[in-house]
A and B are shown apart, each in its own frame.
Chain A
Amino acid sequence: MKMLSNLLLAALCCAPSLMAQQHDIPKPSGLDFALRMNGEKMLEAFDTVRANLQNASAVVYSQRMVVAYGVVVDSEGYVVTKASEVLNKPELSMRIDRQKYEKPQLVGVDDNWDIALYKLEASGLQLPKFKQQEPTLGSWVVSNGASTRLERKAKAGIISAQPRALDSGASRPALGISFDRNSPTIIEVVANSPAAKAGVQKGDVLLQVDDTPINKLQDLSPILSKAEVGQKIKVQLQRKQQKLELELSFARFSELFPDQQKAQPPSRNDQMSGKFNQRRDRFPRVLQHDTVLHAEDVGGPLLDLDGEVVGMNIARANRSESFALPIKQVLEVFQAIKAQPDKFRPKAETPQAAQPEPGKHEL
């Protein structure tokens, strides 16, 4: 969400939200389950496309659990998958069609795209067709659903937005100050942030931003919702008996916290979304679709109605958005890792990003 700081948004979510009466939701009893978007009967129409999942996708197991899928990108046993869901998982194995492959070897990792390349002890695999042209808005797409030892099941959806780079969380504007939960009192100033450089100190109370008096934290929301990186604002602060006026400019959130992807408290939209992938942004380019994937359904191929691979599923982001990487870029990453695996060594395990302290809200 571009228009206001995610953290502040979460704070506002604490306000009682509007809840409809239970009787306002009609029970979806009308249409037979089998006839719905991913109903059994409905999916029969996709059967010729589904059949291609047998050879195009690899089921990724950790111990005996399915943890992700992969795309078969080379007949000699190369498979790409979603790095952040697979690395560090114990006892990996993969299955293509009906054949199980133990101990896949990690070749390399491209953190930029969240792609890991594995090599299986296999040769002469049947390669799917790759379609480098990106599917247009409204095109049907098919992804991996549940798996049995024999069969890959399908899930269907449509391309639901424009392809684009996705760096939402990191590019939003931020000042580098944290407020108390209930009042505009500053309880933390991030070192080297625009706020710190301008001289803002812990304990200052924000009185006014430009011409807007700030009596409560919520008064800031309309200002933040319009903020852009580089924009300058004048703030009036109370410091003990003194009133100060300082000029600040918004920086990118990612510049303030370059080393860690901040663990965000779940937004209200997250709360209504079920399980989603931990890494669901910071991709150089994504296709968006409306398929109801599970967090474990990603990493596998995205097929169009011709049964050709147009993408690699990379994230279940929320209730209405799933993302795939365009296959053209996926194949480029595969070639790059295969050619120079030394350049794509996985990083040492990074410590968990710090959890935000409760009662603090940063912007």
Chain B
Amino acid sequence: MRPYSISSRQFLPALVAASLCALAQAEQPESDQAAAQPAESGSAKNAALPYAHKELPAALINTKSVPAGLEDLKQVQQQLQQSVQQGLKAVVGLQMGAGFGSGVIVSQDGLIMTAAHVTGGVGTEFDCVLPGGKKVRAVSLGLDSENDAALAKIITPGKYDFVEIEKQAVQVGDWVFSLGHSGGYDKQRGPGLRLGRVLSVKDHAICSDCRLIGGDSGGPQFNMQGRLIGIHSRVGMVLEDNVSVPMSSFERVWGQMLESQFIGKGPFAQQQPAFFGALSSECEQGLKIEKMAKDGAAQKAGLQVGDIITSLGGKPVKSKDEFSKLIAGMSAGAKVQLGILRADKALQVEVKLGTKPQAN
């Protein structure tokens, strides 16, 4: 049985966007969701998920093996109808090229949780469809390609409705509901709601009988209190194989994702190797640029033939080998500082790394 990924993403043009560090500085978050931003003094590695603060009792219905009758069913219905309201305000559609996935806003300044196979890469700019149909711009942050977790951030300034994240782990049998733009954004329909129960829980996967389909990928799954417990990832051929990524999988790599790191080697996303776009020769002071690819990263950054590269990201470079090794560890879309000599003057140049041009 082969599981399907459930975004409508068919292909993804590699776009290069502003790095998120720059972004986080440019925007002054008014939110008290401090964790959505890299902590001021420490590194983002210490950042934690913006978990809900208040402890809530488990939904009453979860204590029973099944609803005993109409009264219990009405209780489920009432909880669902109350809790779905905030979720509906925070579910977004992510238009990645021709494909479409879902996501959910988790901070007032527009941090989005979604699936790695939806964003597909780091630093991609895309249209984000808010509830009601308004489009804003967003950029993908880091992702965990092994567990299908990803973050993105709305870059159109604004205050956004968001949902709270559940700290408590889900239990088998818990009632849960899913929201997502099944099959793509449809203004008349709105996001599709599905109710189900948690069927099984593994380290990086919650399986439920909320039936998911293409376009739901990256969309949110909630407990009956309306708190986020999972992000839709994939389905199997059997109707009961509907898998979400739990919050704990996001927590593990939260700081790294905020720092726009590409984590792991797939299968949910494949890293685009970074491409610098210049040929150089070794000289006494460093690497002398001989030739540049048209519209390559080097040319776009304003480098000139004859410039001598002396350092990369603060590390001195003397050989082509050293340079290649440093670049190989970075991903397309990342920004690096180059130290160069131009007509014997030392300069700092920021280069946004690109992707290797595809032969047509």
User: Chain A interface (Cβ within 8 Å of chain B)?
Assistant: 1-4, 9, 12-13, 15, 17-22, 24-31, 34-37, 39, 41-42, 44-46, 48-49, 136-140, 157-162, 164-165, 168, 215-216, 218, 221-222, 224-225, 267-269, 271-274, 288, 290, 292, 305, 318-321
Contact = CB atoms under 8 A, between A and B. Distances in A.
A344 B178 CA distance: 41
Given A25-B241, A41-B66, A320-B213, A140 B73 contact: yes
Question: What 8 pairs across the A-B complex have the smallest Cβ distances?
Answer: A221-B98, A30-B200, A12-B10, A28-B199, A30-B172, A138-B81, A164-B188, A45-B67
Contact of A42 (B67, B194, B210): B67
Interface in B26-75: 65-70, 72-74
Nearest to B194: A290
A36 B208 CA distance: 9
Contact of B4 (A19, A35, A45, A224): A19
A140 B77 contact: yes
Given A20-B5, A305-B70, A319-B239, A27 B234 contact: no
18 contacts: A13-B10, A17-B10, A18-B268, A20-B148, A28-B238, A30-B173, A45-B66, A138-B195, A139-B81, A160-B192, A161-B191, A164-B188, A216-B360, A221-B98, A268-B4, A272-B4, A305-B74, A318-B183
Contacts, number: 217
Contact of A161 (B80, B193, B199): B193
Contact of B95 (A17, A24, A225): A225
Given A36-B199, A218-B11, A292-B239, A19 B267 contact: yes
Contacts of B186: 2, 168
B184 A215 contact: no
Contacts of A318: 182-183, 213
B183 A37 contact: no
Contacts of B190: 161-162
A35 B240 CA distance: 13
Interface in B183-213: 183-186, 188-202, 204-205, 207, 209-213
B235 to A, nearest CB: 6
Contacts of A267: 214
Nearest to B10: A12
B199 A319 contact: no
A134 B207 CA distance: 32
A45 B73 contact: yes
Contacts of B237: 272
B80 A138 contact: yes
Nearest to A21: B267
Contact of B100 (A3, A29, A39, A272): A3
B11 A12 contact: yes
Nearest to A45: B67
Contacts of A3: 95, 98, 100, 184-185
Contact of B68 (A26, A34, A45): A45
A49 B70 CA distance: 9
B213 to A, nearest CB: 4
Nearest to B234: A20
Interface in B241-295: 241, 243, 267-268
Which of A15, A41, A162 has the most chain B CB atoms inside 10 A of its CB?
A162
Contacts of A161: 189-193
